[in-house]
A and B are shown apart, each in its own frame.
Chain A
Amino acid sequence: GQQLNQSPQSMFIQEGEDVSMNCTSSSIFNTWLWYKQDPGEGPVLLIALYKAGELTSNGRLTAQFGITRKDSFLNISASIPSDVGIYFCAGQQTGANNLFFGTGTRLTVIP
């Protein structure tokens, strides 16, 4: 299947700091999604992106659909303790039925 690599794998930050993470692929995707997963729970959709270059915000979260359509970025501003969790990107190709998930970025926020 498609391989989506996320960077960094994990990060430890102080509360109040901004966070940046990215997701890259060797293949083109037409939809990029960002999910957050808390321990023992299913993923929850944060942001969906549908066009190359698109920049979309959801509260303190901002995500961008890369121009090449092979990458996407997620930024979290002014992090808070409840931002702790694993962030997954997911890509979908036109005509494909399913999502391909990234390797995940584990975020720890130190109060």
Chain B
Amino acid sequence: GAVVSQHPSWVICKSGTSVKIECRSLDFQATTMFWYRQFPKQSLMLMATSNEGSKATYEQGVEKDKFLINHASLTLSTLTVTSAHPEDSSFYICSAREGGQGRWQYFGPGTRLTVT
């Protein structure tokens, strides 16, 4: 149980275009979902936290107008990278948590974004 999927697993896009990444909890309802970014050989950096039906809370330094997060249902959250640039190329990983604080986060397999 507790499976989180992401789609697509990798995407290449041209500079200036927008890309949407989906994160789904397959067998549980995710009250909270988290979006992380990971650059090569670095740790996971939290970008934002979203609760179902509410606006996402962004970490300091993350542009909310550039990284649009929608958590419209208890099983789906989306991250849209708007007007992507090469420096946005990274590995984006979502995680989902059922219930409140203290419950485990389950991570998706990640999406590799390459902006040319």
Complex Cα–Cα for A48 and B110 (A): 22
Name B's interface SS: strand
- Which of A40, A95, A102 is close to B101, meaning CB atoms less than 8 Å apart? A95
Q: How far is the CB of A49 from chain B (nearest CB, A)?
A: 12
A45 near B49: Cβ-Cβ < 8 Å: no
The total of chain A residues at the interface (CB under 8 A) is 24
- A103 and B43 contacting across the interface, CB-CB below 8 Å: yes
A6 (CB) vs chain B CBs: closest residue: B43
Q: Which residue from B4, B43, B106 sits with its C-beta under 8 Å from A88?
A: B43
Q: Which secondary structure dominates where chain A touches chain B?
A: loop
Task: List CB contacts (< 8 Å) of A1-49 with chain B.
Answer: 1, 31, 33, 35, 40-45, 48
Interface size bracket, B side: 20 to 34
CB of A97 within 8 Å of the partner chain: yes
Judged by a CB distance under 8 angstroms, whether A82 is at the interface is no
Given contacts A1-B59, A97-B32, contact A31 B110 (CB under 8 A): no
Considering the complex of A and B, which 6 residue pairs feature the smallest CB-CB distances, nearest first?
A: A42-B107, A101-B44, A101-B43, A42-B110, A42-B109, A42-B93
Interface residues, chain A, with chain B CB atoms under 8 Å away: 1, 31, 33, 35, 40-45, 48, 88, 92, 94-99, 101-104, 106
